[in-house]
Amino acid sequence: MTHPPDHGDAESGRYEIRLRGQLDQRWSDWFEGFTLTNQTDGTTTLTGHVTDQAALHGLLRRVGDLGVTLISLNVTHNSKEEPES
């Protein structure tokens, strides 16, 4: 953990999740309102905001449940930017 768990704001933020394969738009609801974008390299990115770590883990589990391959996970914007240690 790079942040103490009680550091509420540091947990929430915008994330980008990249998956193998191109997913249909209809999965947007499934992924809690994340925006699905099909990339030209045959991957799909999910972008959206999570309220905390638990929500993020829930989302990742949905990815796992679907059997799609997870390629990467990035924080794209954080309300309180802190350098990653």
CB-side neighbour CA atoms (13 Å) of 81: 2
Binding status of residue 30 toward other proteins by CB under 8 A = yes
81: its two tokens:
């930017």
33 binds other proteins (CB under 8 A): no
Q: Which residue from 10, 15, 17, 23 is in contact with other proteins, where contact means CB under 8 A?
A: 23
Smallest separation (angstroms) from other proteins to the CB of 15: 19
Secondary structure of residue 10 in the 3-state scheme: helix
Spatial separation of the C-alpha atoms in residues 44 and 19, rounded to whole Å? 5
Q: Which two tokens stand for residue 58?
A: 């829930």
Indicate the residue among 54 and 80 with the shorter CB distance to other proteins: 54
Which of 7, 9, 21, 81 forms a contact with other proteins (CB under 8 A)? 21
55 lines the binding site for other proteins (CB under 8 A): no
